[in-house]
Amino acid sequence: MALNLKQEEFCKTYVSQDFFGNGTQSYLEVYGLEDEGGNKISYETAKSAASRMLTYDNIIKKINELLEIGGFNEQNVDKQHLFLINQFADLKTKMSAIKEYNRLRERGAETHKVTIYDEYKIEE
């Protein structure tokens, strides 16, 4: 089933940098603050409408297509994660990336003591 113009715009707004992942704000941005009768749309009404829209297969399909076009896919996420693991500028970020990698691979049930001698050399 094809999307109408407002639904298409909702999907684009939903994945935009300004509204990324915020269905309620995306809905208000696209559909406006008033309904067709000139009545103010409440936050709760917009939240409910956005939530309902995000259950439609054609809406989700379009959002996924837009995310894929924007580079939000497994291959790109893996590259970005690898970059974080291999960088040395921010060791806290590096350690978080390593922990996330281990969590995803279900590794790390045992505990290791890590001593950091300098910012480039990590020894166990």
> Residues 37-96: pLDDT tens digits?
888 888 898 999 999 999 999 999 999 999 888 776 677 777 777 887 787 788 888 888
Look at 84 and 26; give whichever has higher pLDDT.
26
How many CB atoms are located within 10 Å of the residue 33 CB? 11
115 membership: H or E segment, kind and range: strand 115-118
Kindly calculate the radius of gyration of the chain based on its CA atoms and give it in whole angstroms. 21
Q: What is the pTM of this model?
A: 0.59
Report yes or no: 34 and 40 within 8 Å, Cβ to Cβ: yes
Q: Residue ranges of the domains in the chain?
A: 5-69, 74-123
Percent of the chain beyond pLDDT 90?
Answer: 34
How many angstroms separate the CA atoms of 109 and 3, rounded? 47
Per residue in 70-85, pLDDT (tens digit) is 776 677 777 777 887 7
Mean pLDDT, the chain, whole residue set: 82
**Confidence class for position 111, pLDDT limits 50, 70, 90:** low
